C-alpha cells in the first residue's frame, strides 16, 4: 500500500508535527511505501521528496503584503507540485495533518480529480474557529463563530495580534466554512479525542465522516534520560510540580503560578512562548518557588519529567489530546489537570491524577497541596495506573490497527486484503 502523508511542516515544531512524523515512521516500519509533502522549510528533517515541496510563504509588510494576500488562500505552486507528486507516486490514500495558509486548499482538487481519498486529522479547531482555540483571554472559552459567523474573529479581536491579522483569519474562516472545499474533499476526519469529534459534529460536520482514533505516545524524540541527571534534579528541587509545554494564555500557566504560591508548592516550568516574560514577572512579584528552564527536548526534557513529583496541565481552553499527558503517564507521573476538553478522557480523578475546574486557583492549589503531601506508595500507585493506561491503551499496535481499518473503509484493495 502507498501512503502520502501531508503536513505544512516536516520538523517537530509542536505536538501535531510530532504525530505526523511518528505516523509516517510507523507506517514505513509496517511495510507501507510512504511519501510526504510539506513546505520546503529550512528546519525540515531530510526527505527524498523535497523536490516536490513548495517554497515557504511569509507575507511582506505594507502594500507588498496586500499584493501577496491571494497566496494566503491559494498556492498555485503547492497545487501544481502536489499534482506532480500524485502522478509520480500514485498513492492509495492521502493522510493530511494540516494545510492552512502554506499548502492551502489548492492541493485538494488534484487529489479529487485522481480519485485519491483524503483522511484529515483534526489537531485543532481551525476549521470551525478561525483563531484555532475557541479561547481568548478576554472572553475565555468562546464559540461565538458557531453557525458560519467567522467574522466574529475580527469583531472580537480573537488572534491577539494586529487588526489586519484578525481580518485575514476571519476572511479565511468564512471562506473555509461557507465554501466548504475541505469538508467536501475529505473522506474522513480523525479526532484524537472523543471531545473534538463531538464538537465538530455540534458545529455542523457530517458525523458519518468523523472517526475517533487516539494517538500513540511513543515518539522518535523519546531519548532516555540519564539516571544521574534525574537524581541531580531531585536533589536540587526536592518534591515539586512540573509543567512542560507552550507558554501561552490558553494553557493557564498564570493560574498554576498563583496556585503554586497559595500551596507553597515548588514549581518547574519547561517551555517557551509569547507569555514567558509575563509569567516570569508574575513569579518574581509573588515570590514563587519557581524555576523556568526554557525550551527542552529529548533526554533533557525527560529528565525533568522523571524528576518531578507530578505533572500539571492547567489548561483553560478545549484541550484536545495533549501528547505531554501520555508522555508523563508513561513515565509513571500523576497528572493534575483541568476538567475541560479531552483531558478527562486521559486523567481519571483519584485514579491516575486529580481534576479541577479550569481557572479555579483555590481548587488547583488544594490539588497541588494534596499531591505533594502523598506518601511515596500512593504516588507510585497513581503513577502506575497512568503508566498502564499509556502503555496498554495508547500503543503503536492499536493505533496502526485502527488507522488501517479506517483506510480500509476508503481503499477497496486494502479492504479486500483485510478480508
Q: What is the mean pLDDT of residues 233-241?
A: 96
Q: Which CATH superfamily is domain 227-392 in?
A: Glycogen Phosphorylase B; (3.40.50.2000)
Model confidence pLDDT, tens digit, residues 63-106 = 556 667 788 888 999 999 999 999 999 999 999 998 888 899 99
Residue 248 predicted with pLDDT over 60 = yes
Q: What is the mean pLDDT of residues 311-338?
A: 95
Q: What is the mean pLDDT of residues 248-264?
A: 97
Domain with CATH 3.40.50.2000 in the chain: 2-218+395-418, 227-392
DSSP string, 305-372: HHHSSEEEE---S-----HHHHHHHHTT--EEEESSTTGGGT--BTTTEEEE-TT-HHHHHHHHHHHH
Model confidence pLDDT, tens digit, residues 158-167 = 888 888 888 8
386, 310 contact by CB (below 8 A): no
Per-chain mean pLDDT for the chain: 92
Pairing of strands 210-212, 241-244: unpaired
Q: What is the value of pTM for the model shown?
A: 0.91
Pairing of strands 135-136, 140-141: antiparallel
Judged by average pLDDT, the poorest of 23-27, 163-167, 238-242, 367-371 is: 163-167
Strand partners, 136: 140
- 173 or 281: whose pLDDT is higher? 281
Sign of CA dihedral 86, 6, 152, 277: negative
Q: Give the pLDDT score at 162.
A: 82
Hey, what long-range contacts does 15-18 have (CB within 8 A, 24 or more apart)? 15/123, 15/322, 15/323, 15/324, 16/97, 16/98, 16/121, 16/123, 16/124, 17/97, 18/219, 18/221, 18/323
> What percentage of the chain has pLDDT greater than the value 90?
75
Q: What is the C-alpha to C-alpha distance for residues 226 and 307, in angstroms, rounded to an integer?
A: 11
Q: What is the C-alpha to C-alpha distance for residues 105 and 140, in angstroms, rounded to an integer?
A: 30
Q: Give the pLDDT score at 65.
A: 61
State the CATH architecture for 2-218+395-418.
3-Layer(aba) Sandwich (3.40)
Cα–Cα nearest to 249, from 347, 132, 335: 132
Judged by average pLDDT, the poorest of 219-223, 277-281, 307-311, 331-335 is: 219-223
Q: What is the mean pLDDT of residues 5-28?
A: 91
Q: What is the mean pLDDT of residues 185-205?
A: 96
Q: Rounded to 5 degrees, what are φ and ψ at 81?
A: -70, -35
Q: Give the pLDDT score at 168.
A: 85
Q: Give the pLDDT score at 221.
A: 56
Judged by average pLDDT, the poorest of 95-99, 274-278, 280-284, 366-370 is: 95-99
Residue 183 predicted with pLDDT over 60 = yes
Residue 243 predicted with pLDDT over 70 = yes
Q: CA-CA distances (angstroms) from residue 262 to 71, 215, 242, 289, 312?
A: 50, 35, 16, 11, 15
Model confidence pLDDT, tens digit, residues 344-358 = 999 999 999 999 999
Residue 264 predicted with pLDDT over 60 = yes
Q: Give the pLDDT score at 342.
A: 97
State the DSSP H helix or E strand holding residue 70, giving kind and residue range, or none if neither. helix 69-73
User: Which residues have a Cβ under 8 Å from the Cβ of 418 and sit 6 or more positions away?
Assistant: 404, 405, 408
Cell numbers for 183: 469538508
**Where would I find the beta strands (DSSP E) of 107-217?**
118-121, 135-136, 140-141, 188-191, 210-212
Amino acid at each position: 500500500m502507498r501512503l502520502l502523508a501531508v503536513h505544512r511542516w516536516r520538523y517537530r515544531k509542536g505536538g501535531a508535527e510530532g504525530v505526523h512524523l511518528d505516523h509516517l515512521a510507523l507506517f514505513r516500519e509496517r511495510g507501507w511505501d510512504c511519501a510526504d509533502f510539506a513546505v520546503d522549510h529550512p528546519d525540515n528533517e531530510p526527505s527524498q521528496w523535497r523536490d516536490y515541496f513548495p517554497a515557504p510563504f511569509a507575507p511582506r509588510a505594507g502594500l507588498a503584503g496586500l499584493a501577496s494576500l491571494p497566496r494566503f488562500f491559494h498556492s498555485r505552486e503547492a497545487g501544481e507540485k502536489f499534482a506532480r507528486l500524485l502522478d509520480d507516486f500514485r498513492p492509495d490514500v492521502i493522510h493530511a495533518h494540516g494545510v492552512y495558509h502554506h499548502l492551502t486548499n489548492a492541493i485538494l482538487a488534484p487529489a479529487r480529480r485522481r480519485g485519491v481519498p483524503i483522511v484529515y486529522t483534526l489537531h485543532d479547531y481551525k476549521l470551525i474557529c478561525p483563531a484555532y482555540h475557541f479561547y481568548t483571554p478576554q472572553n475565555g472559552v468562546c464559540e461565538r463563530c458557531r453557525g458560519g459567523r467567522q467574522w466574529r474573529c475580527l469583531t472580537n479581536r480573537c488572534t491577539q495580534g494586529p487588526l489586519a491579522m484578525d481580518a485575514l483569519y476571519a476572511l479565511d474562516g468564512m471562506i473555509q466554512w461557507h465554501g466548504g472545499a475541505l469538508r467536501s474533499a475529505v473522506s474522513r476526519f480523525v479526532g484524537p479525542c472523543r471531545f473534538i469529534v463531538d464538537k465538530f459534529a455540534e458545529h455542523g460536520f457530517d458525523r458519518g465522516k468523523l472517526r475517533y482514533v487516539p494517538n500513540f505516545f511513543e515518539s522518535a524524540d523519546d531519548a532516555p534520560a540519564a539516571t544521574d541527571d534525574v537524581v541531580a534534579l531531585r536533589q536540587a528541587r526536592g518534591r515539586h510540580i512540573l509543567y512542560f509545554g507552550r507558554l501561552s494564555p490558553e494553557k493557564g500557566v498564570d493560574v498554576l503560578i498563583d496556585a503554586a504560591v497559595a500551596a507553597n508548592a515548588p514549581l518547574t516550568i519547561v517551555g517557551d512562548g509569547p507569555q514567558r516574560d509575563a509569567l516570569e514577572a508574575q513569579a518574581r512579584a509573588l515570590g514563587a518557588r519557581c524555576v523556568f528552564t526554557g525550551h527542552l527536548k529529548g533526554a533533557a526534557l525527560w529528565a525533568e519529567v522523571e524528576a518531578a513529583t507530578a505533572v500539571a496541565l492547567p489548561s483553560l481552553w478545549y484541550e484536545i489530546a495533549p501528547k505531554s499527558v501520555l508522555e508523563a503517564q508513561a513515565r509513571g507521573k500523576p497528572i493534575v489537570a483541568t476538567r475541560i476538553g479531552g483531558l478527562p478522557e486521559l486523567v481519571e480523578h483519584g485514579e491516575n491524577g486529580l481534576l479541577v475546574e479550569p481557572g479555579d486557583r483555590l481548587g488547583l492549589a488544594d490539588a497541588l497541596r494534596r499531591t505533594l503531601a502523598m506518601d511515596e506508595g500512593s504516588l507510585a500507585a497513581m503513577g502506575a495506573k497512568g503508566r498502564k493506561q499509556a502503555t496498554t491503551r495508547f500503543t503503536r499496535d492499536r493505533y496502526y490497527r485502527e488507522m488501517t481499518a479506517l483506510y480500509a473503509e476508503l481503499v477497496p484493495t486494502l479492504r479486500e486484503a483485510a478480508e
